[in-house]
Structure 1
Amino acid sequence: MAHGSDVVGERTVFGRKVHFYSSTHERSHLWGCYGMSPFPAGMPCYGLIWEGWCGDFYHIDEYLQVMHLGRVMANPGHKYAFLYALADPRAGPTRLVDAGKLMALCAYGQTGSPDRDEQALIDFLLPSDLYPLSKEDLRESPYYNIGVTHQKFTNLARRFSDAIFDSFHTFAKKHLTKGYPLLISGGCGLNCEWNRRWLETNLFSDVFVPPCANDTGSAIGTAVDAMRHFTGNAKIKWNVYSGQPFTFDEIDRTGLEVHPLDYGQVASVLLDDKIIGWVQGNCEIGPR
């Protein structure tokens, strides 16, 4: 991250002078992940920030200095979501919520090398710096409005997902060679399959992904960045159950059965394919 990517000064808020600190979106992801990670202060780490518009690797050294190791791909998250929109006859512009849908569809795709049509689309999308991508530019593609459950598309989804991961993995093997822990942040950090594969590469001593890897963790990250600047400390104590407490308001219980928690009963009800609403403690932080 370039020197000067943060803004420091004094501002007046409600008639009172306060220290002011502002930094970039990338910094919020990186420092949020670092601050929440279980690794001790001073341990060097690698960082991967991949989301809608950026896909970059970083190195944080023992003095909390950050070095940008390189950009692997522009817009990986947008490209991932775009592929779903390309096949969906109901879709217009790319919707970021489609990224999670494509991740689920990958489970239905068959493994194997891309065929000619798949490779042509992968070769078009991955190097592209265009944003936003236009679905109409690919009207002649065999995947245009093919339907998201079509086997040809689920195969493409899996191979496209693999191609994105392989691009980042190839860069990491070449440039991230010291075995430091890997911090993963950005919306692509919600991809469970990619997270599993990073752990299995054995390139890193450990891998950490916060529960709020996407923009829901940006406020935490900017706060950690400011704390690092003013105090030199970039570690925080936190708990995943830091969300809002459940409100026990009155609801219409028509058709519902209410029981105290009994694990045997829960297992029995699930075995009978029934639906359970389970309320316990605070909400987890992060997207749900």
Structure 2
Amino acid sequence: MLFCGLKLTHDGSVAVIQDDTLLFSYEVEKFNNNKRYSEIPDLTFVEEALALNGYTAEDVEHYTIDGWAGLKTGEVITRCQGEDLTLMVAPYREATLSANSLFPYPGKGLKLGGKERAYTSYLHSTTHLLSTYCASPFALRGEDAYLLVYDGGMYPRLYYFNYKQGMMENLGPIFMLIGNIYSLFALHFEPFFQKDLGPRVDDLSVAGKVMAYIATGNVKEELMGCFERIYREHFSPSMEFNWVFSREIKRFVDEHHISHADALASFHLYMERLLVDSINAAVRKHGNRSRNFCFIGGCSLNIKWNSAIRSSGIFDEVFISPFTNDTGSAIGAACCEMYRQTGNLHLKWSVYSGPSAVHNDPPEGWSQKAFSIQELARLLHETNEPVVVLNGRAELGPRALGNRSILATAIQPDMKDRLNVIKQRELYRPVSPICIEERAPLIFEPGTRDPYMLFDHILREPWSELIPAIRHLDGSARLQTVSKDDNPVIYDLLCEYEKLSRIPVLCNTSANLLGSGFFPDVRSATEWNGTGYVWCDGNLYYK
């Protein structure tokens, strides 16, 4: 049985599940160097994605679409062969706590393969929930779990999934600060204030930058009480509250001559404490029914919050998927229909289920030769030059996990700055370490398995001096661990590099044009000209 999930709005994507196995998930931004967060531009993209895998629109038994804005129903406007097409979908979230989160909303009029097709749609919050639960070890083991969805457009909502009964219980919001408050707050302060747009126009790229920038500031405890007081005095369940809250804090900060970096660092910690304390209180209220936890939505890309939850002791196991944000919504939509039609809750999947690298020709001035993993390790070690690596199929989600990465040695103190300059990024931005899994506990604290780069780790001594390029300003690192099973090519590369250098770590940052998705092919990676070397599936391209 073939299930096709569609995310038509930002982070547009097409995912196909056959029976219980994810065949692919193709995000628009990972084709043709499209801009990050791109919508599906036309339904012909769906047909092209199916065709790349040998399918036609007729082969799909069940189409399902992610829900969007609306209270009782939602609506999305897409295009079909250049003409506007309006489709009715499920709303963004439940209207009441008692509403059935798994309710399917039937629809018709999806134009694919020259005919109109019926489809189902599920709440946007529900596609988030199932995208992560179905991918989790809890579904594999048939276990219950608490799930927290914290997305840009919603309050953090806690759910409890009862595996045996197949029931999703909505336990309600755990506090009343909408997900994008993190970025909307930052837009009131330097360096994120947008002089031309003001603080009311959200920017999806800001949250990740703020998480890095807070290392330049210090927490001011006097602000903690201020945050709580302003929250109590001004709260209202509307978008206007985001700006009122931020404006009042900005006034306090300016009156007391607090640096903007300190204000942002303090707000980050306030949100972190609020998140952990609220989860703890909610779980205790509902009886500590499970020690399993899934964190889902754009806010779960915050590695410091994730680590605070994991180290809190509330849960034994915390799972966050690599496609936890809206890049996983098409997968979640397909999982919803998979569960409805088959009763199966466990999804078999690989993080490397994106499009394959395209082996086209580089521009004039570039040469090509066969190049082994051993030779690539020696090139990195001997030249200390960064290399674009395009390996097999692209990663799902926003993190480059070795298959669409720029890799470089971490021993040079200036490598972080070099990579940031190459990528036209702010110099306070960190560069991530990619490390052999079994070596990680020796180098990082805690150094536990982290294949999707979703938790915070601290560099141990003397490694802080040995690999300074991956050390953030606060001593932390956004670690990715790699095992032989995770990615045999990148694992072998790290092992070969360790033989030469005695260091099992490389720098890892995404290979992409500024503001665009990962490089899809050799041509665009070499035309970019950011590095002198591009390695793609056993071949080296060089000037």
Distance 1:200 1:4 in 2: 30
Distance 2:268 2:100 in 1: 39
Range moving further from structure 2, 238-247 or 251-260: 251-260
CA contact (8 A) 1:59 1:66 kept: yes
**What secondary structure sits across from 1:174 in the alignment?**
helix
CA contact (8 A) 1:32 1:221 kept: yes
CA contact (8 A) 1:48 1:56 kept: yes
Q: Deviations over 1:56-100 (max 9, x none)?
A: 111011221011122112343211111210103425223232111
| Cα distance, 1:286 vs structure 2 | 0.7
CA contact (8 A) 2:145 2:291 kept: yes
**2:183 pairs with 1:48:** no
CA contact (8 A) 1:32 1:224 kept: yes
Which of the numbers 260, 265, 270 marks the counterpart of 2:379? 265
Aligned to 2:127: 28
Q: Deviations over 1:149-174 (max 9, x none)?
A: 84433432443343443443343452
Task: Count the aligned residue pairs.
Answer: 282
Structure 1 residues 10 and 71: alpha-carbon distance in aligned structure 2, compared to 1, 3 A threshold: closer
**What secondary structure sits across from 1:32 in the alignment?**
helix
Distance 1:48 1:256 in 2: 50
Structure 1 residues 213 and 13: alpha-carbon distance in aligned structure 2, compared to 1, 3 A threshold: closer
Which of the numbers 212, 220, 225 marks the counterpart of 1:119? 225
How high is the TM-score relative to the length of structure 2?
0.46
Range moving further from structure 2, 206-215 or 123-132: 123-132
**What secondary structure sits across from 1:243 in the alignment?**
coil
Structure 1 residues 139 and 254: alpha-carbon distance in aligned structure 2, compared to 1, 3 A threshold: farther
Mapping of 1:1-288 within 5 angstroms?
A: 2-3=99-100, 6-9=103-106, 11=108, 20-39=119-138, 40=140, 42-52=142-152, 53-61=154-162, 62-88=164-190, 89-90=193-194, 92=198, 93=200, 94-111=202-219, 114-115=221-222, 117-125=223-231, 129-132=237-240, 133-134=242-243, 137-138=247-248, 141-143=251-253, 150-175=260-285, 177-252=288-363, 254=365, 260-261=372-373, 262-269=376-383, 272=384, 274-288=385-399
CA contact (8 A) 1:109 1:157 kept: no
Q: Which has the higher contact order (CA 8 A, sep 6+)?
A: 1
Structure 1 residues 19 and 255: alpha-carbon distance in aligned structure 2, compared to 1, 3 A threshold: closer
**What secondary structure sits across from 2:180 in the alignment?**
helix
What residue ranges of structure 1 are gaps of 5+ in the alignment? none
**What secondary structure sits across from 1:60 in the alignment?**
strand
Range moving further from structure 2, 8-17 or 164-173: 8-17
**What secondary structure sits across from 1:188 in the alignment?**
helix
Q: Deviations over 1:212-266 (max 9, x none)?
A: 1011111111111111112211221110000111112223375899865332432
Distance 2:146 2:349 in 1: 21
* Letter matched to residue 32 of structure 1: S
Range moving further from structure 2, 64-73 or 24-33: 64-73
| Cα distance, 1:130 vs structure 2 | 3.1
What residue ranges of structure 2 are gaps of 5+ in the alignment? 1-93, 400-543
C-alpha RMSD over aligned residues? 3.4
CA contact (8 A) 2:298 2:324 kept: yes
**What secondary structure sits across from 2:148 in the alignment?**
strand
Structure 1 residues 181 and 83: alpha-carbon distance in aligned structure 2, compared to 1, 3 A threshold: same
Distance 1:256 1:174 in 2: 62
Distance 1:160 1:257 in 2: 52
Q: Deviations over 1:109-156 (max 9, x none)?
A: 335x621x4532354358553315337844961446x9xx84433432
How high is the TM-score relative to the length of structure 1?
0.82
